[in-house]
């Protein structure tokens, strides 16, 4: 119940002049982390989502939700400190704004009502503290999960037990139908994803969804998903694949539909059940894909509980409850580094995916025209939100001028030195020291417009020439937008050293790219780079996931120990199996 519902009509009339009635549309920012504040909001209707600002777009940053009757922003009202978190309208919100000046005047003019209001705010603050204490006790001391989490895990486990014995042809028929159904609605789902997340290009997401379905299906059909997978007659060892059980999968904001399709298909191929934790800003489209998969499961006589997802109030707390649940066998953690660390520290086996920040070394013998066309197409694809896409061009001085000209011919804008400074001032968030959140996944033309540097609607990529000492700043890190840095080197040693340094700053274990026709140089580059995928003359956006080369097609890319993850694989269904080995005694084995 709202504070104002308990007031008498005359009290409501008396207090109203001291507060301002405000409304926020879903998604609107009410409070911004790090900014000063001298007001709070008493929520009349709707739900408010509290988030921490983070440089990790794909990590779940939700702290909590506040409902009608609660207060948001009271910390700064009282201590005059900066906002400790951001608040967004999760639904349409109606609230009353109370400023510090309004509270002062109310307390002077209407002391009794001022005291009642302060007591109400204090009670709400105390309620939040008690909730925090309860959560800490549950997770730190008891490891207890909410009852609804227990229920979801139990349902998934029961469904998996009934599915484990399905024969291969029946599973493949299910996967074929599933891939065709999702691909058949690729355009509708792509539009829904872009509308909800605000990221990417509809046409490009259509391609990603279609390829995720088609190429994943091709990689799975006819493969043994369980039972005997290999017999070594000489060693008398028989290998048998067994499902792990219930998998908990995190779904990133950047690629929600394609990731859901991929993870569902590899889980079903390996006879596992899957529970999904969608990013809070992709829950609606995630739910639409889930319902579509349920229809396919039902049509094949499979239990719908083979795929479940968190439908309301996704947050780090709920993700943590699934990660630490004893009934969850494995975590597929696609997200930012903090989410991956949380998965690995949960005590549950996990496969994590780290951040990308691919250096792209353009050697003197490279086909510069082809490199330029490849980089522009790759980094502008879906507005640059693929983590393995080209992020930092490291070009040999011998071909720099030629490369710059070729980039411009392919639709890139290469900024001058003073333009880079101006651009940086206008698009970098001073709180996070990264690209402003509202510009992530936006077209290059829109970003330039925001920077006050319009170059027309045909611009596909922004290229920022920077010096080596700027690599530690925002432009030497992952940029989930059609933006690349451009650095110049002289010779092999400097090129290798700078590429390695870029990965050490960010992106270790993910992807590195070299453009050369010298096989010995390519091999040395692969040997020295701390990267799981080293691409030669490939586009980063497609090459990292196994399009245009011989890598396994995957939308979950391990980064090995360099990136703090457990595998360097392009993850597939084989990573979701326990392998047993039946070993027969040799004839001359000792008794």
Give the CATH number, domain containing residue 456.
3.40.309.10
Q: What is the pTM of this model?
A: 0.81
Tokens 């059980």 correspond to 245
Print the domain residue range for 153: 147-354+574-580
Structure tokens at 201: 């290009």
In the listed set 142, 160, 188, which residue is the last one of a domain according to the structure? 142
CA distance 391 to 394: 10
Q: What is residue 522's predicted lDDT score, i.e. its pLDDT?
A: 98
Buried b (16+ CB within 10 A) or exposed e, 349-370: ebbbbbbbbbbbbbbeebebee
Based on the structure, what is the number of domains in the chain? 3
Task: Tell me if 34 sits within 8 A of 53, measured CB to CB.
Answer: yes
Q: What is residue 140's predicted lDDT score, i.e. its pLDDT?
A: 45
Q: Are residues 370 and 506 in the same domain?
A: yes
Please count the other Cβ atoms lying within 10 Å of the Cβ belonging to residue 456.
9
The three-point CA angle 57-362-459 to 5° equals: 55
Nearest to 35 by CA among 437, 431, 435, 433: 431
Q: Side by side, which strands form the sheet with 246-251?
A: 307-309, 273-278, 246-251, 330-334, 350-353
Q: What is residue 518's predicted lDDT score, i.e. its pLDDT?
A: 97
Q: Are residues 370 and 329 in the same domain?
A: no
Sign, CA torsion 512/375/56/566: negative
> In the structure, how many helices (H) and strands (E) does the chain have?
19, 23
The verdict on residue 217 lying in a domain is: yes
Identify the helix (H) or strand (E) that includes residue 404: helix 400-409
The verdict on residue 65 lying in a domain is: yes
The verdict on residue 117 lying in a domain is: yes
Q: Are residues 347 and 397 in the same domain?
A: no
Q: Are residues 401 and 508 in the same domain?
A: yes
The verdict on residue 536 lying in a domain is: yes
In the listed set 108, 142, 176, which residue is the last one of a domain according to the structure? 142
Q: Are residues 167 and 267 in the same domain?
A: yes
Nearest to 376 by CA among 403, 394, 401: 403
Q: Are residues 53 and 161 in the same domain?
A: no
Q: Are residues 133 and 156 in the same domain?
A: no
Dihedral Cα 85, 504, 562, 258, nearest 10 deg: 60
The per-residue DSSP string of 435-453 comes to B-GGGTT--HHHHHHHTT-
pLDDT tens by residue, 220-246: 999 988 889 999 999 999 999 999 999
Nearest to 121 by CA among 5, 2, 32: 2
Dihedral Cα 185, 187, 188, 193, nearest 10 deg: 120
Q: Are residues 321 and 285 in the same domain?
A: yes
Q: What is residue 166's predicted lDDT score, i.e. its pLDDT?
A: 95
Tokens 């391609």 correspond to 207
Burial of residue 345, with CB atoms counted within 10 A of its CB: 0-12 exposed, 13-18 middle, 19 or more buried: exposed
Q: What is residue 508's predicted lDDT score, i.e. its pLDDT?
A: 94
Q: Are residues 137 and 196 in the same domain?
A: no
Structure tokens at 74: 């009271």
The verdict on residue 349 lying in a domain is: yes
The verdict on residue 588 lying in a domain is: no
Q: Are residues 339 and 406 in the same domain?
A: no
pLDDT tens by residue, 4-41: 777 788 888 888 899 999 999 988 999 988 888 889 99
Q: Are residues 316 and 374 in the same domain?
A: no
Separation of CA 208 from chain center: 16
Query: Helix crossing, 316-323 with 147-163: angle to 10°?
Result: 50
* Ranges under pLDDT 70 in the chain: 1-2, 53-60, 131-145, 313-315, 335-337, 591
CA distance 577 to 188: 33
The verdict on residue 585 lying in a domain is: no
CA distance 271 to 160: 7
The verdict on residue 189 lying in a domain is: yes
DSSP label at residue 221 = T
Tokens 């522009």 correspond to 376
Burial of residue 415, with CB atoms counted within 10 A of its CB: 0-12 exposed, 13-18 middle, 19 or more buried: buried
Q: What is residue 141's predicted lDDT score, i.e. its pLDDT?
A: 40
Q: Are residues 115 and 205 in the same domain?
A: no
Nearest to 495 by CA among 470, 529, 465: 529
Catalytic residues: 387
pLDDT tens by residue, 124-149: 888 777 766 665 554 444 455 678 89
Separation of CA 79 from chain center: 34
Task: Tell me if 269 sits within 8 A of 352, measured CB to CB.
Answer: no
CATH number for the domain that contains residue 123: 2.60.120.10
CA distance 376 to 356: 18
């Amino acid at each position: 119940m709202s504070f104002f519902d308990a007031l008498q009509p005359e009290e409501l009339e008396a207090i109203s002049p001291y507060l301002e009635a405000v409304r926020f549309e879903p998604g609107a920012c009410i409070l911004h982390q790090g900014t000063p504040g001298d007001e709070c909001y008493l929520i009349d209707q709707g739900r408010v989502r509290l988030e921490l600002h983070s440089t990790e777009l794909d990590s779940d940053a939700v702290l909590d939700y506040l409902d009608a009757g609660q207060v948001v922003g009271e910390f700064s009202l009282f201590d005059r400190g900066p906002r400790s978190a951001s608040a967004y309208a999760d639904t349409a919100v109606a609230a009353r704004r109370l400023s510090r000046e309004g509270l002062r005047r109310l307390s002077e003019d209407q002391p009794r009502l001022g005291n009642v209001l302060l007591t109400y705010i204090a009670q709400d603050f105390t309620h939040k503290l008690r909730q925090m204490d309860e959560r800490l006790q549950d997770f730190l001391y008891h490891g207890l999960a909410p009852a609804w989490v227990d229920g979801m895990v139990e349902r998934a486990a029961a469904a998996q037990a009934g599915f484990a014995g399905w024969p291969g042809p029946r599973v493949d028929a299910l996967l074929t139908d599933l891939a065709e159904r999702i691909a058949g609605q690729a355009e509708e789902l792509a539009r829904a994803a872009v509308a909800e997340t605000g990221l990417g290009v509809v046409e490009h997401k259509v391609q990603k969804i279609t390829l995720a379905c088609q190429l994943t299906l091709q990689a799975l059909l006819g493969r043994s998903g369980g039972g005997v997978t290999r017999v070594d007659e000489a060693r008398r060892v028989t290998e048998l694949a067994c499902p792990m059980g219930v998998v908990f999968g995190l779904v990133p904001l950047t690629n929600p539909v394609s990731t859901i399709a991929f993870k569902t298909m590899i889980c079903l191929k390996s006879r596992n059940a899957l529970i999904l934790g969608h990013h809070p800003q992709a829950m609606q489209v995630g739910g639409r894909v889930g319902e579509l998969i349920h229809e396919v499961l039902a049509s094949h006589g499979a239990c719908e509980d083979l795929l479940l997802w968190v439908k309301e109030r996704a947050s780090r707390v709920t993700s943590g409850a699934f990660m630490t649940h004893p009934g969850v066998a494995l975590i597929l953690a696609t997200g930012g580094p903090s989410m991956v660390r949380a998965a690995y520290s949960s005590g549950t086996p996990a496969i994590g995916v780290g951040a990308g920040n691919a250096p792209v070394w353009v050697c003197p013998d490279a086909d510069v025209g082809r490199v330029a066309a490849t980089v522009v197409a790759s980094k502008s694809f879906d507005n640059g939100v693929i983590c393995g896409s080209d992020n930092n061009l490291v070009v040999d001085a011998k071909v720099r001028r030629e490369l710059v000209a070729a980039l411009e011919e392919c639709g890139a804008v290469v900024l001058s030195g003073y333009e880079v400074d101006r651009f940086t001032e206008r698009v970098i968030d001073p709180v996070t020291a990264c690209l402003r959140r509202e510009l992530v996944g936006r077209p290059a033309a829109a970003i330039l417009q925001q920077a006050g540097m319009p170059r027309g609607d045909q611009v596909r990529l922004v290229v920022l020439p920077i010096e080596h000492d700027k690599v530690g700043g925002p432009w030497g890190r992952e940029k989930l937008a059609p933006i690349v840095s451009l650095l110049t080197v002289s010779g092999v040693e400097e090129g290798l050293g700078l590429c390695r340094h870029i990965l050490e700053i960010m992106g270790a274990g993910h992807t590195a790219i070299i453009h050369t026709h010298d096989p010995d140089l390519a091999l040395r580059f692969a040997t020295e780079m701390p990267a799981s995928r080293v691409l030669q003359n490939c586009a980063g956006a497609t090459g990292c996931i196994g399009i245009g080369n011989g890598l396994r097609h995957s939308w979950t890319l391990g980064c090995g120990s360099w990136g703090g993850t457990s595998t360097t694989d392009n993850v597939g269904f084989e990573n979701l199996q326990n392998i047993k080995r039946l070993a027969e005694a040799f004839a001359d084995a000792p008794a």
